[in-house]
């Protein structure tokens, strides 16, 4: 058996002096031919390994370079050096894999996030990305724990579908047809009958519609999977492939939906704060350092941990879309013509508007409800005013929209009428409409963009830095 090792995190936590232990990991630095800082990814804290004179020959010492992997056995002793309580006094050192320092791109110095994005296959080995992806893991785990504790069923909705859930038409097509010689129908359009599925298909933009089928049997389900959007938005908040959590609840109205979303967000933040405090403290310090180079007015008002604790301990603001527009129209920002995009009832709020509401006006997460029906999807429940739908978006400081959801239209006739108005082919959606034909119930749900949540909790500012391998327009490396 090879894996007779103790993880560094456990070793540092227990700090059992005198214990004989084996560790394995990657060398971060090697000082004075004597002190190795070893990291195995379990924590950002390195284990100091002391290589006493005579333990290893000259040739072996030369191979202990930044990035090399080693196995070290020794005894845990109290450390006299600064920065650590314990260190490993080595009795044996074995090189597992060499790393040519001339060629290794990760030097023991600060690299820019842009540079690290280009070597995303190696960036997990840095402190920043070590912390970010351990926090990402914790958040994912907390998602499952939250819903499992509440008795929700985790439903795996399909990745390949023939429907466009959001009706937004921003889909990646899936086909096995020869692209250089597409079969055509007599009217010139593509003949999909020879395609793999015998019809046009695409990658899913949302698991919601299938989620609704589950909710109208299990009462409460959630999905957590990759979703794909071919929107050509090259921003720090958009990915072409992102992960989304979509709970769907029968017997819920818009208010139940908001309550669940708020509880859920607070739960996963609380989980990460409690279980990943070391990493979040590291990210908090990183952010403070990063912001030192910014002008005063561009810096965050709160530190990362302060911000997360504030969100945990305060109710989200809840306002209607109509109230939001009024706030914007009455703001001095608007009067001084500081918004780039127009403000009037009916607009799809731009990120500058959302951020004004959250960061300048309320200074906390805001849930905006009851949007104009014309800017929202066909499945949202129509309000009695004939103009708005029972939608809700949650806007978060520094991020903008983090959740989008709604109460669903459960009345068959109203749904069919709306689909007709929006040119959604009802014949292809019979399976969906069946939920409204056979024991329809009031129900609601929402989608949380997982990467936007990870941005919020880690204080990172570019969405490319919180997913292992980002897919964005003109970029599909690794
Ligand atoms: O608001 P959206 O489009 O809502 C839906 O897809 C609904 N079917 C959800 C539901 O009710 N079950 O997307 C939901 C969330 C957004 O609020 C945002 O956080 C995230 O998904 N999102 C993206 N994240 C990263 N990159 C993109 N291109 C995103 N598009 C949406
Ligand atoms: Mg949305």
DSSP string, 105-157: S--SS---HHHHHHTTTTGGGSHHHHHHHHHHHHHHHHHHHHHHHTT-EE---
Of ligand 1's listed atoms, the one at least distance from the Cα of 240 is 28
Residues near ion ligand 2 (CB < 5 Å) are 404
Predicted pLDDT of residue 81: 81
Helix axes 277-291, 127-149, angle to 10 degrees: 130
Both tokens assigned to 249:
């609840």
Instruction: Please tell me if the CB atom of residue 25 comes closer than 6 angstroms to any atom of ligand 1.
Output: no
Closest Cα partner for 316 from 383, 393, 243?
Answer: 393
Please give the Cα distance from 343 to 10 (Å, whole number): 55
Q: Please report how the helices 254-275 and 450-458 are oriented relative to each other, as an axis angle in degrees rounded to 10.
A: 50
Burial of 461 (0-12, 13-18, 19+ CB in 10 A): middle
CA-to-CA separations, 303 to 290, 310, 474, in angstroms, rounded: 12, 10, 34
Residue 163's pLDDT is 83
Q: What are φ and ψ of residue 165, in 5° steps?
A: -50, -45
Q: List per-residue pLDDT tens for the chain, 478 residues long.
A: 888 999 999 999 998 999 999 999 999 999 999 999 999 999 999 999 999 989 999 999 999 999 999 999 999 999 988 888 999 999 999 999 999 999 999 988 899 999 999 999 999 999 999 999 999 999 999 999 999 999 999 999 999 999 877 777 689 999 999 999 999 999 999 999 999 999 999 999 999 999 999 999 999 999 999 999 998 889 999 999 999 999 999 999 999 999 999 999 999 999 999 999 999 999 999 999 999 988 888 888 889 999 999 999 999 999 999 999 999 999 999 999 999 999 999 999 999 999 999 999 999 999 999 999 999 999 999 999 999 999 999 999 999 999 999 999 999 999 999 999 999 988 889 999 999 999 999 999 999 999 999 999 999 999 999 999 999 999 999 9
User: CB of 446 closer than 6 A to ligand 1?
Assistant: yes
Going by C-beta distance under 8 Å and a sequence separation of 6 or more, which residues neighbour residue 161? 201, 202, 203, 204, 210
Specify the pLDDT at position 90: 97
Q: Which residues contact 179 (CB under 8 A, 6 or more apart)?
A: none
Q: What is the pLDDT of residue 196?
A: 98
Minimal CA–CA distance to 70: which of 114, 102, 23, 111?
Answer: 23
Q: Does the C-beta of 206 come closer than 6 Å to ligand 1? A: yes
**Which sign, positive or negative, has the C-alpha torsion 333, 338, 344, 346?**
negative
- How far is CA 290 from its chain centroid? 21
- Please tell me the predicted confidence (pLDDT) of residue 353: 96
Residue 455, judged by CB atoms within 10 A of its CB (0-12, 13-18, 19+), counts as: buried
Measured between alpha carbons, how far is 321 from 339 in angstroms, rounded to an integer? 18
**Is 303 buried (19+), middle (13-18) or exposed (0-12) by CB count in 10 A?**
middle
Q: What's residue 300's pLDDT?
A: 82
Question: 309 alpha carbon to ligand 2 midpoint, in Å?
Answer: 26
Query: How many angstroms does the Cα of residue 392 sit away from the middle of ligand 2?
Result: 9
Q: How far is the CA of 21 from the centre of ligand 2 (A)?
A: 52
Report residue 102 as tokens. 């001339």
- Asked whether 254 lines ligand 1 (CB < 6 A), one says no
Q: Would you say the CB of residue 238 lies under 6 angstroms from ligand 1?
A: yes
Please check whether residue 340 is in contact with residue 352, taking contact to mean a CB–CB distance below 8 angstroms. yes
Atom of ligand 1 nearest to the CA of 447: 9
Three-state SS for 75? Answer: strand
| Residues found in the chain | 478
């Amino acid at each position: 058996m090879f894996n007779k090792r103790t993880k560094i995190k456990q070793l540092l936590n227990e700090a059992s002096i005198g214990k004989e232990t084996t560790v394995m990991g990657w060398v971060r630095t090697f000082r004075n031919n004597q002190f190795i800082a070893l990291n195995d990814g379990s924590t950002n804290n390195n284990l100091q390994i002391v290589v006493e004179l005579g333990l290893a020959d000259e040739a072996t010492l030369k191979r202990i370079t930044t990035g090399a992997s080693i196995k070290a056995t020794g005894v845990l002793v109290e450390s006299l050096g600064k920065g650590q309580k314990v260190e490993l006094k080595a009795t044996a050192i074995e090189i597992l894999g060499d790393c040519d320092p001339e060629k290794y791109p990760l030097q023991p110095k600060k690299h820019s996030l842009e540079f690290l994005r280009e070597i995303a296959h190696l960036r997990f080995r840095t402190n920043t990305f070590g912390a970010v992806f351990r926090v990402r893991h914790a958040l994912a785990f907390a998602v499952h724990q939250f819903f499992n504790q509440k008795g929700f069923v985790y439903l795996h909705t399909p990745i390949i579908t023939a429907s466009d859930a959001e009706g937004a038409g921003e889909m990646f097509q899936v086909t096995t047809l020869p692209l250089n010689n597409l079969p055509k129908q007599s009217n010139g359009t593509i003949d999909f009958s020879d395609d793999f599925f015998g019809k046009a298909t695409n990658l899913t933009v949302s698991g919601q519609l299938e989620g609704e089928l589950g909710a109208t049997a299990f009462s409460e389900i959630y999905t957590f999977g990759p979703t794909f959007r071919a929107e050509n938005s090259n921003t720090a908040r958009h990915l072409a492939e992102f992960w989304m959590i979509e709970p769907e609840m029968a017997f819920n109205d818009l208010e139940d939906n908001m309550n669940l979303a708020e509880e859920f967000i607070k739960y996963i933040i609380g989980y990460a704060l409690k279980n990943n405090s070391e990493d979040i403290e590291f990210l908090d310090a990183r952010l403070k350092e990063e912001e030192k180079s910014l002008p005063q007015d561009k810096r965050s008002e709160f530190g990362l941990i302060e911000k997360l604790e504030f969100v945990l301990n305060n109710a989200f603001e809840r306002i209607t879309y109509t109230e939001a527009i009024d706030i914007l129209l009455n703001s001095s920002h608007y009067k001084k013509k500081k918004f780039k995009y127009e403000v009037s009832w009916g607009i799809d709020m731009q990120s500058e508007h959302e951020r004004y509401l959250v960061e300048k006006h309320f200074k906390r997460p805001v849930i905006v409800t009851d949007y104009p029906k014309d800017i929202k999807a066909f499945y949202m429940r129509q309000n009695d005013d004939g103009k708005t739908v029972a939608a809700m978006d949650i806007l978060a400081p520094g991020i903008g929209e983090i959740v989008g959801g709604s109460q669903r239209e459960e009345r068959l006739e109203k749904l069919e009428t709306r689909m007709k108005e929006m040119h959604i082919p009802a014949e292809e959606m019979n399976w969906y409409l069946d939920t409204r034909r056979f024991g329809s119930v009031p129900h609601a749900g929402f989608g949380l963009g997982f990467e936007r949540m990870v941005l919020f909790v880690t204080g990172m500012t570019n969405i490319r830095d919180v997913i292992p391998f980002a897919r964005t327009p003109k970029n599909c490396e690794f």
